[in-house]
Amino acid sequence: MCRGMKVAAAVSPEKLRGGFYTPDALVERCLDRIEELTNGRDRLRVLEPSIGDGAFLRGLSELRWEGRVESLLGLELIEGEAEQARAELARSGIGGEVLTRSTLDWSASATDEFDVAIGNPPFVRFQFVSPADRRSTELLSERLGYEFGGVSNLWIPVLLGSLSRLAHGGVFSFVIPTECFTGMAASVVREWFVGETADLRFDLFQPGSFPGVLQEVTVVSGRRVPSREKRGVPVAFVEHDGVGATVEWSHQVDGSGSWTRYLLGPAALDAMHAAEKLAHVRPLREIANFDVSLVTGANDFFSATTETVDRFELDEWAKPLLPRSRFAEGLEFTLEDHAAMEMVGARRWILDFGSERPEPSEYPRPLEYIEQGEALELHERYKCRIREPWYRVPNFRRGDLLLSKRSHHFPRVILNSAEAFTTDTIYCGWIVDPEYSATAFTAGFHNSLTLLSAELFGRSFGGGVLELVPSEVAELRIPKALTFGAHLRGLDALSRSGDSDSLIEETDRLMVEEGILPPDLCLALSEAREALALRRTDRGKSSSRELVPA
């Protein structure tokens, strides 16, 4: 079987080797592109680096390919799968061989050249990769002159190792995860595409297009050309709705940063560029600073319920805590909100055993609590054992502003009126622009420009979760709205109502009303944000939707 995608019914051993079937529709899409790119050429030498039981080979055996494929080299790590592929190769009448060998080991030293490379490389997290393949990846990195230091998944070196064996003018078509657009580790792939390809194209599919496949995938195809200066390359994007309709667009793409922006059509991307050029639109870092909050190393120990605080007499060390942003439904986290957490038994206290506080080990009940933590070997955890004493968390600080590290619909800034502390699930922030107030910043944050920039600068994971690291938060675009503090109460009420769309719509309306964003531009930004957010949050859903050019 062609190895690659994680499927719902997969068992652990298969997950570890990435051994999952490729849907016929994806095989056909890859072969269609190879047919377009080869334009009738024959005597093709084909490489398939993860041949499995031969799904792509079966496609190449079809009548339309008769006589065009001269030879095929397939690589397969599992002997049982390789035997099936050999039998398929014999039935096909195509010459060649299937080697039971690691693709990475082979590509680190191979000298063969091919006209076509095709397949579905294994999607295996690098922590599960064998030491031998890790060493081969290092050798391949040296050979290609591309740095693999940040690689997080096996598909990256397998893909580049295979593409490097294409003759100049050779063509390729591969199924790869859509993390290729955003992941920092995949930046090496984006760099290669820009420097060494022509006719580059990404075929995109709506979530749910391939039942049972949990990973969102794309088909990337193109032609290898002699290395060029990495200034940019035209790239086509084609989105399929699953019933035959497509929407197409193209961009001149460079190799820097995330490529999420290219998932927008040209008009939408132009709107973003126009907004960034407005005199009063600034990077967030010029207005506020957000950073990681408390890193305890053992949140279950350092965060406590009121019942635990009372039982172990920890009042002297207990400070208000917001453990998760879901406990702050509005745009302002108040003392009343903190008190309401008691009704659901939430851990609403953080324990500060800092040096300026009384020494807890000198009190019987607090000492008992610490000893319970040691019985659970919490003091042996890395973050704890490097501290002396282990239960003293450094840098105990709280922010005037709070921002969730991960979000589903969109990131939300919260005014910290309760002066609560947070752990590492929520960033803490402070205003650095003396013209701004924390209230105005909070009220104006949830506009389409800022939230679109979050989609563009952030990265998304399984289930469509959006994550921002502090360096990405710093790059969000903020329209300067110094008077927006007057709107916080009304916007807070909308947020508490649970109608997230209304919160954005009302913020946008106020931005237009106060002349901060032009109406046509604001509408274009809104539509672009919705398009990217829908693509992200629809992952795993099987229902199709009508394609609308962004």
pLDDT value for 229: 64
My answer on whether 348 and 215 are in the same domain is no
Q: What distance in Å separates the CA atoms of residue 335 and residue 331, rounded to the nearest whole number?
A: 13
Full residue range of the structural domain in which residue 436 is found: 290-357+395-537
Q: How far is CA 493 from CA 326, 340, 487, 496, in A?
A: 15, 17, 10, 5
Q: What distance in Å separates the CA atoms of residue 428 and residue 491, rounded to the nearest whole number?
A: 21
Residue 248: what residue type?
E
My answer on whether 171 and 304 are in the same domain is no
Residue 480 lies in a domain: yes
Residue 366 lies in a domain: no
pLDDT range class, residue 125, cuts 50, 70, 90: confident
Phi/psi for 32 (5° steps) reads: -60, -40
**444: which 2 tokens?**
């104006």
First and final C-alpha spacing in the chain: 36
Q: What distance in Å separates the CA atoms of residue 301 and residue 320, rounded to the nearest whole number?
A: 15
- Closest CA relative to residue 328, chosen from 427, 415, 394: 415
Are residues 414 and 407 in contact, defined by beta-carbon separation less than 8 angstroms?
no
* Mean pLDDT calculated for residue range 71-84: 94
Would you tell me how many other CB atoms lie within 10 Å of the CB of residue 261?
Answer: 21
Q: How far is CA 32 from CA 35, 66, 334, 443, in A?
A: 5, 15, 58, 50
pLDDT range class, residue 147, cuts 50, 70, 90: confident
Residue 17 clears pLDDT 70, i.e. is over it: no
Residue 177 clears pLDDT 70, i.e. is over it: yes
* Mean pLDDT calculated for residue range 307-318: 97
Would you tell me how many other CB atoms lie within 10 Å of the CB of residue 535?
Answer: 21
Residue 73 lies in a domain: yes
**455: which 2 tokens?**
């989609």
My answer on whether 42 and 184 are in the same domain is yes
* Mean pLDDT calculated for residue range 220-239: 86
pLDDT value for 274: 97
Count helices and strands in the chain by DSSP H and E runs: 20, 21
Check whether the bond before 389 is cis (ω within 30° of 0).
Answer: yes
**Mean pLDDT (the chain, rounded):** 89
Residue 146 clears pLDDT 90, i.e. is over it: no
> What radius of gyration do the chain's Cα atoms show?
27
Mapped onto helix, strand or coil, the DSSP state of residue 471 is helix
- Give the whole-number percent of the chain exceeding pLDDT 70: 91
Residue 135 lies in a domain: yes
**104: which 2 tokens?**
């990475």
Residue with tokens 């965060």, as numbered in its chain:
303
My answer on whether 253 and 196 are in the same domain is yes
- Closest CA relative to residue 301, chosen from 394, 420, 389, 384: 384
* Mean pLDDT calculated for residue range 103-130: 89
Beta bridge partners of 339: none
Q: What distance in Å separates the CA atoms of residue 341 and residue 321, rounded to the nearest whole number?
A: 10
More confident residue, 24 or 73: 73
* Mean pLDDT calculated for residue range 341-364: 95
My answer on whether 529 and 491 are in the same domain is yes
My answer on whether 307 and 202 are in the same domain is no
| Domain boundary, last residue among 263, 282, 309 | 263
pLDDT range class, residue 185, cuts 50, 70, 90: confident
**244: which 2 tokens?**
């035959």
pLDDT value for 6: 45
pLDDT value for 547: 38
Residue 136 lies in a domain: yes
Residue 379 lies in a domain: no
Could you write out the DSSP letters of every residue in 160-202? HHHHTTEEEEEEEEEEEEGGGTT-STTHHHHHHHHHHEEEEEE
Q: What distance in Å separates the CA atoms of residue 482 and residue 314, rounded to the nearest whole number?
A: 42
| Count of domains for the chain | 2
My answer on whether 252 and 314 are in the same domain is no
For residue range 414-460, list pLDDT tens digits in order.
Answer: 999 999 999 989 999 999 999 999 999 999 999 999 999 999 999 88
Phi/psi for 385 (5° steps) reads: -70, -15
pLDDT value for 360: 96
| Domain boundary, last residue among 263, 282, 316 | 263
Residue 142 lies in a domain: yes
Residue 261 clears pLDDT 50, i.e. is over it: yes
Residue 269 lies in a domain: no
My answer on whether 220 and 317 are in the same domain is no
My answer on whether 249 and 300 are in the same domain is no
My answer on whether 78 and 117 are in the same domain is yes
CATH number of the domain bearing residue 139: 3.40.50.150
Question: Of the spans 4-8, 22-26, 68-72, 123-127, which averages the highest pLDDT?
Answer: 68-72
pLDDT value for 469: 93
My answer on whether 353 and 492 are in the same domain is yes
Q: What is the pTM of this model?
A: 0.85
My answer on whether 344 and 223 are in the same domain is no
Q: Picking from 324-338, 389-403, 451-465, which range would have the lowest pLDDT averaged per residue?
A: 451-465
* Mean pLDDT calculated for residue range 380-405: 94
